[in-house]
Structure 1
Amino acid sequence: MRTFIPILFLLFLCNNLLAQNPDTVFLSNTHVVIGEIQSMEYGVLTIETEYSEDDFTIDWEEVIGVNSSSEFIIMLRNKYRLKASLSMDAINPDYMIISSIEGARMFAQFKDIVYLKSSEDRFWDKLSFDIDGGYSFTRASNTTQFSVNGKANYTDTHFFINTYSSVIYNKVSEDTTTISTSRNNYGFTAQFFLKGSWFIIGNNDILQSEQQNLRLRTTGQIGLGKMLIRNNKVFVGVATGLASNTERFYNTDDKDQSYESLLQANINAYGYKDLRFSAQAQVYPSITVKKRIRANYTATLKYDLPLDFYIGLNTTLNYDNQPTEDATNFDFVFQSNVGWSF
């Protein structure tokens, strides 16, 4: 009995170590990091370890080897997107063996792997959130501005969903008169990935802007897109499609319905450490309203801080060459804010 207990303990210990099945990352400076790989995006690998309270972040260019039996959502430079595990090729160390859950195996160099994300079956493990806000008060003009922005992403092997919201409130008080304006923007975007670099987009955008006299504008979109560039420094994509536009204005109870074509371009750049830039331009030549053209442009610059905080600058521009009565052609917003990603 005395001999049986230590053996049982050893079996339990070995089984526990195997169950943990840690990931191993080999670096160019001969260091080895053991833990659980969370993701690799923006050219930075994030790994959780038992010997540090904070996750390690490692430049992907410094990684020379990875061994892991965990499943990841993997995006490759040559347009593949799949769920698979990673291991080193013992014969050619410059290549990784990518073992798909469907049974297929392929080889890829490190520079060809542009995105990794831990792929758990749990719903919450596929979600990520950003939230930021800003506040300013000018005593001389008694002006107050308040803004909140939020974003939630859901990532799976074959599709990606992004929901977003932006609330801006301005108030100017002078003597007994108070003037307040607001601008609210909500919506979601979905991308369904096809073979190669093609994808289908679907989007629904809701905008309320007193600057453009818009009580409510709802724009539904559907289209086909293609990734032109995808590597560890930048993503560039374009899309085209159709849009349905419904508008209500403050100066009338009428509802305007029109149909438009869509031209869209996106860029996400992260070539500098801790600095990220993204921009999107959309042009809507109207199909049913003669000579009308609308355009939307958004740009975001973020600098990462410790503990998942960041500081950022946001710019939004809406243009309409045929605005409603008492409205301007342009609606421009510039924000500086502090946020948190989780």
Structure 2
Amino acid sequence: MTNEVMRIFSISIFIFILSLSGVQLYGQSDTLVFNSGNRIVGEIKKMEKGILEIDAAYGDENFKVKWLQIDYIHTTSKFLINIKNQIYEGQIATESDKTIRVFQADSTYIICALEDIVYLKQYKDGFSNRFSAAVEVGFNLTKAQDVRQFSFRSSVGYKTSKSTFSASYNILRASQSNTETVKRTDGLLNYSRILIKDWYGVASIYTLSNTEQKIDLRANSQLGIGNYLYATNRAYWGIVTGVNNNLERFTNSQSNRNTWEVFYGTELNLYDVEDFNLAFVFVGYSGLTEKGRFRADTTIDAKYDLPWNLFIRIGFSLNYDNQPAINASQTDYILRTGIGWEW
């Protein structure tokens, strides 16, 4: 009797293990085949900046592969799919010769080339799947003249099928013997929404304070429209224009400025060089109520991705104003380096 019970128990355990394996295989049912003929079956997490991440049972960490090296793909997971800045919710499968079908059940949304897919992320209901964040710190210290510099950069984002919300906050503090402490702080709240095709609307609030230009507070409130001229999984390039209300308060003046401007800008982002990313942003402002005034903000960031979602970044920012505050400089620029983490 005891042997019979043990035999039944062993069979039950065996069936239970098989059922668990079946559940695992069912959950890992996205399939990739590469140009080399190699094949991976697992759970695709995301594809961004030309790199796809897939979780396979035979690896401790997610595999990362180049998107354009994929010869065949078929998913059963549901994704948020960005194709030239149009967002779809569904699955994808290779049709022929790297032609991709985006579908849900029996409905086909679009058929496109593999390289037209800009972004891919596993879709799950809930806040965390659409949320992103990054934080970065940097510190420099030299014995000569007791130079100390501290920088902090942070950003958060939330993305839906049509809208994107982002916010950032950055600090720079630099001190040196026998000189005034350099202070710079800037923040951004930005909301954009896809309108039609490659066009989108944007509303933002940008704040800045710095000691070099005697700016106690500059608050820009912008409303505009933008267009993506080029958007693939290798790079994107967009332009934007609109109106801006510029409210300023200076540390060396009792009077405030409240003016209207037209703004125009461009953003270029390159990310198809292994783990290296390069971003360039330029925004110019021409006075409407204050004729002859011109301002410009320029940012260049070079970022290299490390394991465990870490990264190192070198950034350069330049602010220019041809009509600054009294006894203030026309330009203020900073060069900073730091190490950060993103999620």
TM-score, L = length of structure 1: 0.91
Deviation at 1:103, TM superposition (A): 3.8
* Distance in 1 (alpha carbons) for counterparts of 2:328 and 2:20: 71
Deviation at 1:104, TM superposition (A): 3.9
Secondary structure of the 2:93 match is strand
- Alignment equivalent of 1:88, drawn from 75, 82, 94: 94
* Distance in 2 (alpha carbons) for counterparts of 1:144 and 1:242: 39
* Distance in 1 (alpha carbons) for counterparts of 2:185 and 2:238: 27
Q: Percent identity?
A: 26
* Distance in 1 (alpha carbons) for counterparts of 2:329 and 2:211: 10
Deviation at 1:253, TM superposition (A): 3.6
Secondary structure of the 1:173 match is coil
Contact persistence 1:71–1:85 (CA under 8 A) = yes
Question: Residue in 2 aligned with 1:113?
Answer: 117
- Alignment equivalent of 2:29, drawn from 19, 22, 29: 22
* Distance in 2 (alpha carbons) for counterparts of 1:279 and 1:161: 20
Contact persistence 1:219–1:243 (CA under 8 A) = yes
Q: How many matched pairs?
A: 336
Change (3 A) 1:163 1:101: farther
Moved more, 11-20 or 97-106: 11-20
Question: Residue in 2 aligned with 1:183?
Answer: 184
Change (3 A) 1:202 1:101: farther
Secondary structure of the 1:61 match is helix
The answer to whether residue 146 in structure 2 is matched with residue 139 in structure 1 is: no
* Distance in 2 (alpha carbons) for counterparts of 1:11 and 1:31: 26
* Distance in 1 (alpha carbons) for counterparts of 2:184 and 2:106: 47
Deviation at 1:21, TM superposition (A): 4.9
Deviation at 1:81, TM superposition (A): 2.4
Contact persistence 2:294–2:322 (CA under 8 A) = yes
Secondary structure of the 2:115 match is helix
Secondary structure of the 1:105 match is strand
Contact persistence 2:28–2:56 (CA under 8 A) = no
Alignment of 1:118-133 (within 5 A): 118-133=122-137
Secondary structure of the 1:288 match is coil
The answer to whether residue 157 in structure 2 is matched with residue 149 in structure 1 is: no
Secondary structure of the 1:285 match is strand
- Which amino acid is the alignment partner of residue 48 of structure 2? E
Runs of 4+ in 1 over 3 A off after TM superposition: 1-15, 100-105
Where structure 1 has 5 or more consecutive residues not aligned to the other structure, the ranges are none
Question: Residue in 1 aligned with 2:69?
Answer: 62
Moved more, 255-264 or 15-24: 15-24
Question: Residue in 2 aligned with 1:166?
Answer: 170
Deviations 1:105-157 (A, max 9, x none): 32222122222122211101111222112111121111111101111122221
* Distance in 2 (alpha carbons) for counterparts of 1:6 and 1:138: 65
Contact persistence 1:64–1:110 (CA under 8 A) = no
* Distance in 1 (alpha carbons) for counterparts of 2:192 and 2:136: 24
Question: Residue in 2 aligned with 1:35?
Answer: 42
Change (3 A) 1:17 1:135: closer
Moved more, 18-27 or 293-302: 18-27
